[in-house]
Amino acid sequence: MQQKIRKGLCAFTESKENKAIRNVCTALKIKMFNPAEIGFLVEYAAVMKPVAMVLNILQGESSVHMGLLLPTPYQLRDKLKRLKSTCKMCTPLVHALQQGIQKRFGDVMKEPELIAAAILLPRFRTSWTTEENILNAGLDYIRNHLNTDLDDVTSANSGLSDEDDFFASMELGKSQVGELERYLSCLSPAGMDLLHTFPRIKKLSLKVNTGLPASAACERLFSHAGLLFTAERSQLHSKNLESQLLLKLNSDITERFFGEIVCFCMF
């Protein structure tokens, strides 16, 4: 939506006569926007665009890994920093957004487990920030937990002879460290399938990237059902309610489908 608004405003500023926006202002009996006001709206849309994208990412239902939590505000902070150098009228807005990010995510941004979760997502690894102290905190967390898994493996091999059991941790320790280094330096496509190549990294990634289940999707469903099941529809059959709810939740698909039918009938 922000992108559409920005494109529309840019089209108005680029057109010579601004007929469309002038007609709207005339119909509403309001004063025509001057170039400064249109410039402000264009700049505002440019600043708020990455904020809207971040909100869509964080409230999404498809990518729900905990590792998304930190790279998102870090990238937003970098984008706002670049915008701040080019803004003329929205500099206070950029400053307020930066303060809001620090206030809301400041303590969370230094949480080792969340940093490790981001590193253990192949699409991010160590590319989402240039702050060495942040990355080192996450890498230390990963190494410590890989060592914990090493102790578990060692205890599982307690049936070996005393001599074999005593020296078994040497080779396991080397493989643990080597696996993390190979994972970070791997040049393969950064998809989730990459984790299959590194079994211990995959195990830890599943542990730290699995978030607590949320009821947001169910609550959204019940909210739509409450809008349909009113006092006037108290005798509505369950099948009819289900059909209307299905159409309501998929309104974008149905509108596009009926639009195509109308176009087909017209031609």
Q: What is the DSSP string of 16-47?
A: SS-HHHHHHHHHTT-PPPPHHHHHHHHHHHHH
Give dist(CA 74, CA 77) in Å, integer.
5
Q: Are 56 and 63 in contact (CB under 8 A)?
A: no
Supply the range of the domain harboring residue 237: 216-266
The per-residue pLDDT for range 209-229, each reduced to its tens digit, is 987 766 766 777 777 777 777
Structural domain tally of the chain?
Answer: 3
Same domain, 174 and 224: no
Same domain, 163 and 243: no
Express as a percent the part of the chain with pLDDT over 70: 75
Same domain, 186 and 202: yes
Same domain, 2 and 98: yes
Same domain, 129 and 101: no
pLDDT higher for 107 or 150? 107
Same domain, 15 and 100: yes
Same domain, 69 and 84: yes
pTM exceeds cut of 0.75: no
User: Which residues lie closer than 8 Å to 31 by C-beta, 6 or more apart?
Assistant: 25
The per-residue pLDDT for range 172-193, each reduced to its tens digit, is 555 555 888 999 988 877 788 8
> What one-character DSSP code corresponds to residue 127?
-
Same domain, 106 and 117: no
CA separation, residue 191 to residues 66, 100, 121, 127, 194 (Å): 16, 32, 9, 14, 6
